[in-house]
A and B are shown apart, each in its own frame.
Chain A
Amino acid sequence: MNLIQEAQHAYLNRVTRRHFLKSAGAGLGAIAFSALGADTVRASGATMADGPHFAPKAKRVIFLHMAGGPSPLELFDYKPELARLDGQDCPESLLEGKRFAFIRGIPKMLGPQATFQQYGESGAWMSNHLPHMANVVDQIAFLKAMHTDEFNHAPAQLLVHSGSPRLGRPSMGSWVTYGLGSENENLPAFVVLLSGGAAPDAGASVYGSGFLPTVYQGVQCRTKGDPVLFLSDPDGIPRHLRRRSIDAINAINRQHHEEVGDPEILTRISQYEMAFRMQTSVPEAMDISHEPEYIHQMYGTEPGETAFSNNCLLARRLVERGVRFVQLFHWGWDSHGAGESEALNGGFLKRCQETDQPVTALIQDLDQRGLLEDTLVIWGGEFGRTPMLENRTGSDNPYVGRDHHSDVYTMWMAGGGVQGGITHGQTDEIGYSAVNGRVHVHDLQATILHLLGFDHRRLTYPFQGRDFRLTDVHGHVVHEILS
């Protein structure tokens, strides 16, 4: 039994009699299984759930979060009728009972700021802003009728990643690593890569471990400077000295643990060990300079910079090395039209350019390495955008934009047991509400866990007297997109 398991057992024995009864009842089978589990733990440094409930389709996840809420009406959801209505007043019937983040009064409709064409054997519609992605539409399953409960960035992002719009719940990556453990003993199982100039609105909570042990929290790696802050040895401290100081600290921590029995102390000990190993493994994994030139061209990387393209390439390198969950955030999709940087005819186009080629390259690169089959790639923001024009400042604005819209938006998934070349869900003629195939954020989470081999209702963790889960009391697996 390793430290983490020991911590978990100590914790459970302290808090619940049920655990004792359970382990007493499970008998020999449990003994055999815990021996198996011990190996996962040895490999990962951490796992506590009993592994997948059924044979998984996906072993790893790369979640490309387009923070800010990209407009599906300019990317995937082709609405010619909306073009016809461009500039007309929005009918009041559409506004009744709705709340928007910024739109007040009666807005005008805004036609698609893009041209569309069908691609691939599946004939998926794709806008002119994503010319590269048009090459891989047959690998993609579009969810065109996603919906969420929140219309502001931070709560909506929290809902996507932790299943709750409020702080305090573990993120999806934490749940997954809690369930599956890591496949690399020298790297964190859950890595976070940020780009786009700003961190997610909800802060580090979108990759936090909540009430799960902190070993499951996402580790942010940087592409510029030290990949992980405060990881390298200070000047003048050689590695063997660092080793000895860690040993000393751990010895003290162990003693402390024996006195007070707090399992988080064991987490801390294993973090020190992991950090020591990461001093050599992380720089190696995060160094893209040795990648061949054609790979750099494929992704369109900018070595030495903080760029989404670099992060996509890193994501591939990390999953190749057995990292379980790679979470990318690319900020800047919040196209209100209040200024150039956040306009559909401004910053939005830049975001498309920054992401189109790397995302396409990531799918193709994973595929040619045989990794796409068991790596789930997810693309999407935290909500969609209105078919109405948002004009906060008045009519003299050269920039156009749309307000936040929680009723319907597009996300897509590829690889890892997802059927390629299909579209699930349909919106009305103007992309304002769903006509069929609605998928709630909790349904998406249930589907992701399903692909990883989990019944989302059974991947739970006891906290404050009840079993918590990512999907809380909701969630239905979207069977229609499974291959």
Chain B
Amino acid sequence: MTRSLIGLCAGVFFMIMMLFMVPESGQPSDFTLFLGRFHPLVVHLPIGILMVATILEGLSRIPSFRGRYDTGILALLYIGVWTSIMAVIAGLYLAQGGGYAADQLMWHKRLGILVVFLASLAYLYKAWPALSEQLFKRWESGIYGVTLSVMLLALIFTGHFGGVMTHGSDYLTRYLPDGIRQIAGLPKKADLGRLDLDDPSQTTVYAALIAPILASRCEGCHNASVQRGGLRLDDPEFILLGGDSGPSIVSGRSDESELIHRIWLPAISDESMPPNESPQLSVAEAELLRWWVDAGASFEELLPDAEWTPSTQTIVDYMGLGEIRTGIFALDTAPPDSMDVLALSSRGFAVTPLAENEPYLQVRCLNLEACSNTTNIDEVLRPLSDQIAWLDLGRSQVGDPFMEVIADLPHVTRLYLQQTSVTDAGLSHLQGLDYLEYLNLYGTQISDSGLVYLEDLSSLTSLYIWQTQTTETGISRLQSALPQLYINHGSNLAPVGSDPEGE
């Protein structure tokens, strides 16, 4: 018995000493790493054994079981102590290989050693109660129970940290049902991997896409407290500053940017980042970073302004950022009432949804005579005033009275009034259409004085005024007020100002 104990102690001592025998290369030896791989196997022995010991001890508190398991408990504690020592040593070997998050590893290590210590203490108490009584006079009755309970807790937490380190922090909660998730204050399952931004149109590309990648993949080693290679990636200022190898990014040149270079290197390379044993960037993340640098590495650019490449488009689509809502699509507009839609269509209009899941409608004059009738037209249009986005009255007989109604349709983006009886006075009603992008006035009687009313339509991008009374003077005046506006006043091949076809 004594001899085997001495042998065990000597073995343990030797194994601990091996930890300090680092080969000249500075890398841990293959042999220790090989033994380290047994940690996951060995570690389950003390977990099971010490748990059983604790359970039996708990049962012994019931009067009819008292003293019945003492021999067994003693044996279990004895084996538990030695197997936990083995597990700790194997764990220390394994940790030498690196690649684990520092803070998790630290707690796992400390708690594991605590388990060894507490298990030994419990064993000593159980084996030599008299000795313990001498040592802990005043607490003798409670100390053993407390030791076992704390050991159990330490065991559970050690195991948890170990699991988190091997399987990732969301391993346990990934398939948690949504109901429990909500109680636990975790985000809903469907949102995992997708971005949930309050207002994507006001969020920068950097904040939405780039910073989260750096935070999850790089900041472990490049943050305010740890700066491997002298590099910090947790703040724009430091990203631009770079590290020991120079600037980390060159705006617009991913091929010259050290950061992009390193993340795209094959894992086999020594310079590849993140280091081999750390969680690697997905191809999508690496592609997003490269795209961001090539697009100018802006920290200010808003999501709607981003110019996606086909590959990044696919990625952001998947992340739920595919449609950045701008213009009327950013507004919170209620869906149309189907009875109102029917009422409008009975007036000779084709009324169709602009797109599925959108509240907006495209309205086109179908029966040129019926829809030109303005009697009570405001009563059928007004209930849909928020929903009408495209309004096509082209070739109908509508005139200025209809324009008064259009003034109350704030979300119109495309307005077709070609070959109608609209006049300059009618155009004055369009001044409040903040979202108007397209206006077709070809073949109408409007003139330069009508164009003046359009000068404040800042969203307007296309204007068609072929075969109208407008002149170069009025057109150039409007053009200088709205420099981005495309004004088409007729092609070169067709004589301007001739009568429209007699229909």
Binding site for B on A (CB under 8 A): 31-33, 35-36, 38-40, 42-44, 50-56, 135, 181, 183-185, 290-292, 294-295, 298, 320, 322, 361, 364-365, 367-370, 373-374, 453, 476, 479-480
Instruction: Identify the closest chain A residue to B337 (Cβ).
Output: A32
CA separation between A55 and B323, bound complex, in Å? 11
Q: Which of B353, B354, B358 has the most CB of A within 10 A?
A: B353
Q: Which of B359-416 contact A (CB under 8 A)?
A: 360, 364, 366-367, 394-395, 414, 416
**Contact of A39 with B310 at beta-carbon distance under 8 Å, contacts A368-B466, A369-B442 already known:** no
Contact B498 A39 (CB under 8 A): no
What is the interface size of chain B, counting residues whose CB is below 8 A from a CB of the partner? 48
Contact A368 B336 (CB under 8 A): no
Interface flag for B418 (CB, 8 Å): yes
Interface flag for B26 (CB, 8 Å): no
Q: Which residues of B contact A295 (CB under 8 A)?
A: 494, 501
Q: Which residues of A contact B342 (CB under 8 A)?
A: 35, 38-39
B293 CB, min distance to chain A CBs, angstroms? 20
Which 5 pairs of residues, A with B, have the shortest CB-CB distance? Answer: A35-B338, A370-B464, A43-B350, A370-B440, A364-B491
Q: Which residues of A contact B492 (CB under 8 A)?
A: 135, 364
Contact B503 A54 (CB under 8 A): no
**Contact of A364 with B338 at beta-carbon distance under 8 Å, contacts A52-B355, A294-B498, A295-B501 already known:** no
**Contact of A40 with B355 at beta-carbon distance under 8 Å, contacts A370-B438, A479-B313 already known:** no
What are 9 sample pairs from A and B whose C-beta atoms fall under 8 A apart? A32-B338, A42-B345, A43-B364, A51-B356, A54-B355, A55-B358, A365-B494, A368-B490, A373-B462
Contact B498 A292 (CB under 8 A): yes
CA separation between A42 and B343, bound complex, in Å? 13
A262 CB, min distance to chain B CBs, angstroms? 28
**Contact of A290 with B503 at beta-carbon distance under 8 Å, contacts A42-B345, A370-B416 already known:** yes
Interface flag for B493 (CB, 8 Å): yes
Q: Which residues of A contact B364 (CB under 8 A)?
A: 43, 183, 322
Instruction: Identify the closest chain A residue to B502 (Cβ).
Output: A290
Interface flag for B170 (CB, 8 Å): no
How would residues 304 to 338 of chain B score, 1 for a CB under 8 Å from any chain A CB and 0 otherwise? 00001010010000000001000001000001101
CA separation between A53 and B495, bound complex, in Å? 41
CA separation between A32 and B494, bound complex, in Å? 47
CA separation between A479 and B342, bound complex, in Å? 37
Interface flag for B341 (CB, 8 Å): yes
Binding site for A on B (CB under 8 A): 308, 310, 313, 323, 329, 335-336, 338-339, 341-342, 345, 350-356, 358, 360, 364, 366-367, 394-395, 414, 416, 418, 438, 440, 442, 462, 464, 466, 488-495, 498-499, 501-503
Contact B464 A52 (CB under 8 A): no
Partner of A36, one of B329, B338, B394: B338
B320 CB, min distance to chain A CBs, angstroms? 15
Partner of B310, one of A51, A320, A367, A480: A480
CA separation between A434 and B182, bound complex, in Å? 54
Contact A55 B355 (CB under 8 A): yes
Instruction: Identify the closest chain A residue to B489 (Cβ).
Output: A368
CA separation between A102 and B107, bound complex, in Å? 77
Q: Which of B336, B339, B418, B493 has the most CB of A within 10 A?
A: B493
Instruction: Identify the closest chain B residue to A34 (Cβ).
Output: B338
Q: Which residues of A contact B341 (CB under 8 A)?
A: 35-36, 39
Excluding A294-B495, A295-B494, A295-B501, 5 further A-B contacts by CB distance (< 8 Å) are A32-B338, A52-B356, A54-B356, A184-B366, A370-B464
Q: Which residues of B contact A181 (CB under 8 A)?
A: 352
Contact A33 B353 (CB under 8 A): yes
Q: Which residues of A contact B499 (CB under 8 A)?
A: 292
Instruction: Identify the closest chain B residue to A322 (Cβ).
Output: B364
Contact A290 B501 (CB under 8 A): yes
Q: Which residues of A contact B442 (CB under 8 A)?
A: 368-370
A418 CB, min distance to chain B CBs, angstroms? 15
CA separation between A480 and B491, bound complex, in Å? 28
Contact B501 A291 (CB under 8 A): yes
